[in-house]
């Protein structure tokens, strides 16, 4: 039996407790959606203001050299690399997750010209699947996007698979793939791996190099707290650098962008995976989020994430037995930093919760998704969120027309 006192005590003993004040959060709001859009670090406005009012306004074009704008994708990329277990020179921050996925998938397919299968799972995020479908159509080389259930990926890796393309933590279930195991099986079968770290980076330690990943992409605005529409990132294992042929061969991936040659020649190293001009203002905000994240020990972050998610799942069952279906894996080791609950009135319940100052999100058709960003969520927030959820369910507060109306973004 989990009690309020236990959670109060966990907050008192929490080594990450001091991080909450480094974010700006609305008073009284329990924000369980940092896996969709992370909270704003307190430092971000000053960092962005400096980039705008001093660097841009005063130095104009000179800012590219003077303020290191031109190096920002590699500089921020290396910092992200420290969060995802990638040695220096293998990560850049640029573009969006969708665009990076397109680039990395194309690069991977080039390395396996005799194979036609892109293997993914039905739990993958739709944009990843859409980008693969678009790329396959563009290449017109007979590629097939083969989808299996999340737990079937390992078994489905066969000799016809070119690339195993999965999101490490499924957005709808929170289920976490075993990166080392999938890499091992894929490599034994002659396939490559492409990981989407959208729900991993900043939530727990990722070990891209150690676990044998070939390619990866990830998102800047979720657990990395880079702000809405923040630049994303991409990773290419060093062993593939020289063989990558960028499908979006823009000038920032050229060997000498300012030579203005008429012909494209790829830059050496990771830089060839850049395309156009760096998103300087977005990178300034992203870097503020990353710098803050780098102050935390990710093993401790992971421990707190497990405590928060375990407590939430347990409390929901303790306080409302049988009301929700636990969609996420029950064992923390197989779960990211979120807990997903199934309920046929999920949409209305989420709207009623938001009206009661608890913010999860809803994922069609029936999933209530609760994300726990360990840097700013307290253990007591778990108690309070479950208490409000229980009241809404018990009083049927959700059962009103205003809570059934669908907004564009859920």
Residues with catalytic roles:
125, 196, 221-222, 369
Expressed in percent and rounded to 5, the helix, strand and coil fractions of the chain are 45, 15, 40
For residue 76, the minimal CB distance to ligand PLP (Å) is 16
The residue among 92 and 393 lying less far from ligand PLP, judged by its C-beta, is 92
Residues 6+ apart with CB under 8 A from 398: 345, 348, 349, 351, 352, 392
What does the block give as tokens for 6? 């236990």
Instruction: Work out how close the CB of 172 gets to ligand PLP at its nearest, in angstroms, rounded to a whole number.
Output: 10
Minimum distance, C-beta of residue 24 to ligand PLP, in the bound complex (Å): 22
For residue 43, CA distances in Å to 31, 40, 50, 77, 284 come to 19, 8, 11, 19, 11
Tokens of 391: 């009241």
Q: Could you give the maximum distance between any two Cα atoms of the chain, in Å?
A: 70
- Is residue 251 within 8 A of residue 278, CB to CB? The reply is no
CB-based contact 235:215 (threshold 8 Å): yes
CA angle 399, 400, 406 (to 5 degrees): 105
Per the DSSP assignment, residues forming a β-bridge with 30 are 358
Nearer to ligand PLP, 198 or 327 (CB): 198
Measured from the CB atom, the residue of 199 and 379 that comes closer to ligand PLP is 199
Cβ proximity to ligand PLP: between 14 and 196 the closer is: 196
Cα separation of 39 and 47, whole Å?
15
Q: Which is nearer to ligand PLP, 223 or 376 (CB)?
A: 223
Residue 333 DSSP class? G
- How many residues touch ligand PLP under the rule CB under 6 A: the total is 13
Q: Which two tokens stand for residue 405?
A: 């109306």
What character string, x for contact with ligand PLP (CB under 6 A) and - otherwise, covers 111-130? --------------x-xx--
| Residues of span 206-265 touching ligand PLP by CB under 6 A | 219, 232
> What x/- string results for residues 166 through 205 when contact with ligand PLP is judged by CB under 6 A?
-x---x------------------------x-xx------
Query: C-beta of 396: minimal distance to ligand PLP in Å?
Result: 32
First to last CA, the chain: 33
Least distance in angstroms from the C-beta of 279 to ligand PLP: 12
Residue 230 CB, nearest distance to ligand PLP (Å)? 8
Of the pair 127, 318, the CB lying nearest ligand PLP is at 127
Nearest to 370 by CA among 83, 31, 63: 31
The answer to whether the CB of 24 falls within 8 A of the CB of 46 is no
Q: Is 361 in the site for ligand PLP (CB under 6 A)?
A: no
What track of x and - describes contact with ligand PLP for positions 73 through 112 (by CB under 6 A)? -----------------------xxx--------------
Specify whether the CB–CB gap between 179 and 206 falls below 8 A. Answer: yes
Binding site for ligand PLP (CB under 6 A): 96-98, 125, 127-128, 167, 171, 196, 198-199, 219, 232
């Amino acid at each position: 039996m989990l009690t309020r006192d236990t959670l109060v005590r966990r907050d008192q003993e929490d080594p990450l407790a001091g991080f909450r004040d480094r974010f700006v959060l609305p008073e009284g709001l329990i924000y369980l959606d940092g896996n969709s859009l992370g909270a704003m670090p307190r430092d971000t406005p000053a960092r962005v203001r400096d980039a705008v009012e001093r660097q841009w306004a005063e130095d104009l074009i000179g800012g590219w050299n003077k303020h290191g704008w031109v190096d920002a994708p590699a500089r921020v990329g290396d910092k992200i690399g420290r969060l995802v277990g990638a040695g220096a020179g293998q990560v850049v921050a640029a573009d969006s997750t969708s665009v990076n996925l397109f680039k990395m998938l194309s690069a991977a397919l080039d390395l396996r010209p005799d194979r036609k299968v892109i293997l993914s799972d039905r739990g993958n995020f739709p944009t990843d699947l859409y980008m693969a479908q678009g790329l396959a159509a563009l290449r017109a080389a007979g590629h097939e996007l083969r989808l299996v259930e999340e737990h079937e990926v390992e078994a489905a890796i066969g000799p016809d698979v070119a690339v195993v393309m999965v999101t490490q933590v499924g957005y709808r279930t929170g289920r976490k793939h075993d990166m080392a195991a999938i890499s091992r099986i894929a490599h034994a079968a002659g396939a490559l791996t492409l990981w989407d770290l959208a729900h991993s980076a900043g939530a727990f330690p990722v070990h891209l190099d150690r676990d044998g990943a070939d390619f990866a992409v990830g998102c800047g605005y979720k657990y990395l707290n880079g702000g809405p529409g923040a630049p994303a990132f991409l990773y290419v294992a060093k062993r593939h650098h020289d063989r990558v042929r960028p499908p979006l061969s823009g000038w920032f991936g050229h060997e000498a962008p300012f030579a203005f040659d008429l012909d494209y020649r790829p830059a050496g190293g990771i830089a060839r995976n850049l395309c156009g001009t760096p998103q300087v203002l977005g990178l300034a905000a992203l870097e503020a989020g990353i710098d803050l994240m780098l102050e935390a020990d990710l093993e401790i972050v992971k421990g707190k994430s497990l405590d928060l998610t375990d407590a939430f799942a347990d409390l929901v069952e303790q306080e409302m037995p049988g009301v929700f279906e636990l969609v996420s894996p029950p064992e923390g080791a197989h779960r990211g930093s979120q807990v997903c609950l199934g309920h046929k009135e999920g949409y209305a319940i989420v709207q009623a919760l938001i009206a009661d100052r608890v913010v999860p999100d809803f994922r069609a058709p029936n999933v209530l998704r609760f994300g726990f960003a360990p840097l700013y969520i307290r253990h007591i927030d778990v108690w309070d969120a479950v208490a409000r959820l229980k009241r809404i369910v018990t009083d049927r507060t959700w059962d009103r027309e205003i809570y059934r109306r669908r907004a564009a973004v859920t």
